[in-house]
Amino acid sequence: MSFWQFLQSNWPELVTLIREHLVLVFISIVVAVAIGVPTGILLTRYRAWRGPVLGIANVMQTIPSLALFGFLIPVPFIGGIGTRTALVALVLYSLLPIIRNTVTGILGVEPSVREAAVAMGMTDSQVLRQVELPLAAGVIVTGVRVATVIAVGVTTIAAAVGAGGLGVYIFRGLRQYDNNLLLAGAVSAALLALAADFLLGLIERRFSYERARKRTVSLKVVFAVFALLVALGVAFWQFSKSPATANRVVVGSKDFTESALLAEILAQMLEARGVTVERRFELGGNLPHEAMVSGTLDLYPEYTGTSYTAILRHTPITDPRAVYEQVKREYADNFKVEVSSPLGFENTFAILVRGNDARQLNLKTISDAAPQTPKWRAGFGQDFMSRADGYPGFSKAYNLNFAEVREMDLSLTYIALSSRQVDLIAGNSTEGRIAQLDLVQLADDRRYFPPYEAVYLIRQDTLARTPQLREAVARLANAISTEEMRQLNYEIDGNKRDPKEVVRTWLAQKQF
């Protein structure tokens, strides 16, 4: 699909994402100005506070954005997932340039001018409002301009906590190895940053008094642009509010295609049953779990093995029944969360090699491949490298000794393998591209990997107040085979079809 065709068919979604992006940036900058400028003014009056406050704001900016989002999730009132958390993080990022430029701007006012103002009999607030702020305005606007450009960039990360925006395309594009998505997300974000920079640059130029101005922008134009931005912001904000209903279910998903697909399946089934659904898809790491336990999410798809090792922190075991039963019991006791019946397929780690290698060397099992590993390079996702049932135990169980182990983004490992950058990877057994790229899965002959049966995790109170939910989940028990899941994944990752459309077709076939 060409980029142009992609834009044509995804235009409405792209516009929605841009709108979400602008709303996030606009609101956070307004809030940051409302906090930052008064703070900066106070710092010019109370010298002793200057160091500590600027220091804290400085530290805020050095925290990597994904980490800052992570810190905020468990915090009550301002944390959680979604727009609010993203706004808090964006405001924290935007504060430093605004506070610093307010201080610099005011302290940079010519001392003789300030002294003249005092000597004319101006009160402190008159000096501030009539002399210091107008003369510092250019520098302050520069700060706002810097903060806005930063915010446009950081907002792309906000997609990781389910706040939407253009980051949704960027994350999805990275995951699905889809350049159209990446381009659409990144180019739009870059254009937004340039546009914001240009508009604020116009306002900034209005405030330079010392240099002779050749072409001045009239104050009217500045106000008009500002009013337009406010109007757009308000309109978008109103428009993006979802109606609050008592019978509303927030469906979440992890940040990979299959999780989003499973979430979409249940979401569409609920909508068909008259339930209002709010989608919070593509949440990274442990976010969906944290969010569900804190109540901002009602349900999300998960795998029993992941819950067993990553959440409940048990040592991996291989009996599927035992894992399922224990997960079900502990989730009910610890989190008041119900574990649905298994959906019928497993998404376990698939140890993959190139089809050619498998045929030439006659490799069927992981044990067969072990002697080759000193000549091989391996490529593993960050997740596999760090988890309890991941690389350390795996290499020990099979006595593997790779020439080199590369840690990279999971979705890139498939391409890396087929293009001979690496020789062995740990993919997902339901990955749609396995057949397409002629990759072969080696059997786990020592039964190292724990079972990863797909289930839905659902808050008990949500189940109690939504009878349609119990009925829909019951119908999905044992309803999806591994081959079916692989096919569904391939429709999206391989054929680049719209997930909603894929799910709709599948549901119609299944007559759910």
> Hey, is 202 helix, strand or coil?
helix
DSSP letter at 421 equals: S
Site string for another protein, 483-512 (x = CB under 8 A): ------------------------------
113 forms part of the interface with another protein (CB under 8 A): yes
**How many chain residues are in contact with another protein, going by CB under 8 A?**
20
**Buried b or exposed e, range 414-427, using 16+ CB within 10 angstroms:** bbbbbeeebbbbbb
- For helices 133-154 and 3-45, what crossing angle results, to 10°? 140
- What contacts 278, CB < 8 A, 6 or more positions away? 242, 248, 249, 250, 251
Q: Which is nearer to another protein, 136 or 151 (CB)?
A: 136
Residues 98, 40 contacting (CB under 8 angstroms): yes
Handedness of CA 49, 51, 52, 55 (dihedral sign): positive
14 forms part of the interface with another protein (CB under 8 A): no
Q: Which is nearer to another protein, 211 or 321 (CB)?
A: 211
Query: Smallest gap, in angstroms, from Cβ of residue 191 to another protein?
Result: 34
Neighbours of 369 (CB within 10 A): 21
Looking only at residues 419 through 478 of this chain, which bind another protein when binding is defined by CB under 8 A? Answer: none
Three-class DSSP labels, 402-416: CCEEEEECHHHHHHH
For 433: left if phi > 0, alpha if psi spans -120 to 50, otherwise beta; the answer is alpha
Q: Which is nearer to another protein, 209 or 226 (CB)?
A: 209
Query: Smallest gap, in angstroms, from Cβ of residue 222 to another protein?
Result: 14
Query: Smallest gap, in angstroms, from Cβ of residue 135 to another protein?
Result: 6
Q: Which is nearer to another protein, 212 or 244 (CB)?
A: 212
Looking only at residues 115 through 174 of this chain, which bind another protein when binding is defined by CB under 8 A? Answer: 115-123, 126, 130-131, 134-135
- Rounded to whole angstroms, the Cα distance separating 158 from 165 reads 7
Measuring CA to CA, which residue among 387, 410, 399 is closest to residue 316?
387
Question: Which one of the spans 208-216, 232-240, 291-299, 355-363 is the region binding another protein (CB under 8 A)?
Answer: 208-216
Query: Smallest gap, in angstroms, from Cβ of residue 204 to another protein?
Result: 14
Q: Which is nearer to another protein, 112 or 511 (CB)?
A: 112
209 forms part of the interface with another protein (CB under 8 A): yes
Query: Smallest gap, in angstroms, from Cβ of residue 223 to another protein?
Result: 17
Query: Smallest gap, in angstroms, from Cβ of residue 213 to another protein?
Result: 9
> Hey, is 323 helix, strand or coil?
helix
Query: Smallest gap, in angstroms, from Cβ of residue 148 to another protein?
Result: 24
Interface residue with another protein among 212, 244, 246, 508 (CB under 8 A) is 212
Interface residue with another protein among 2, 12, 76, 112 (CB under 8 A) is 112
Question: Distances in Å between the alpha carbon of 211 and those of 33, 104, 208?
Answer: 26, 19, 6
Site string for another protein, 70-99 (x = CB under 8 A): ------------------------------
* Total residues belonging to the chain: 512
Residues 35, 91 contacting (CB under 8 angstroms): yes
286 phi, psi to nearest 5 deg: -90, 5
Q: Which is nearer to another protein, 211 or 375 (CB)?
A: 211
Q: Which is nearer to another protein, 207 or 414 (CB)?
A: 207
Query: Smallest gap, in angstroms, from Cβ of residue 146 to another protein?
Result: 23
Question: Which one of the spans 171-179, 210-218, 372-380, 421-429 is the region binding another protein (CB under 8 A)?
Answer: 210-218
Residues 309, 388 contacting (CB under 8 angstroms): yes
Question: Which one of the spans 33-41, 206-214, 264-272, 443-451 is the region binding another protein (CB under 8 A)?
Answer: 206-214
Q: Which is nearer to another protein, 80 or 138 (CB)?
A: 138
2 forms part of the interface with another protein (CB under 8 A): no
Q: Which is nearer to another protein, 114 or 500 (CB)?
A: 114
Q: Which is nearer to another protein, 204 or 264 (CB)?
A: 204
How many helices and strands (H and E) does the chain possess?
Answer: 24, 10
Q: Is 474 exposed, middle or buried (0-12, 13-18, 19+ CB in 10 A)?
A: exposed
CA torsion angle for 110, 113, 114, 115 (degrees, to 10)? Answer: 120
The vertex-508 CA angle with 505 and 509, nearest 5°, equals: 90
Query: Radius of gyration over alpha carbons of the chain, in Å?
Result: 27
- Rounded to whole angstroms, the Cα distance separating 492 from 506 reads 13
Looking only at residues 251 through 270 of this chain, which bind another protein when binding is defined by CB under 8 A? Answer: none
246 forms part of the interface with another protein (CB under 8 A): no
Q: Which is nearer to another protein, 216 or 386 (CB)?
A: 216
Query: Smallest gap, in angstroms, from Cβ of residue 120 to another protein?
Result: 6
Question: Which one of the spans 98-106, 107-115, 147-155, 373-381 is the region binding another protein (CB under 8 A)?
Answer: 107-115
Question: Which one of the spans 83-91, 205-213, 267-275, 452-460 is the region binding another protein (CB under 8 A)?
Answer: 205-213
Q: Which is nearer to another protein, 210 or 333 (CB)?
A: 210
Looking only at residues 395 through 424 of this chain, which bind another protein when binding is defined by CB under 8 A? Answer: none
Q: Which is nearer to another protein, 63 or 107 (CB)?
A: 107
- What contacts 423, CB < 8 A, 6 or more positions away? 353, 354, 357, 372, 375, 376, 377, 378, 417
Residues in contact with another protein by CB under 8 A are 112-113, 115-123, 126, 130-131, 134-135, 209-212
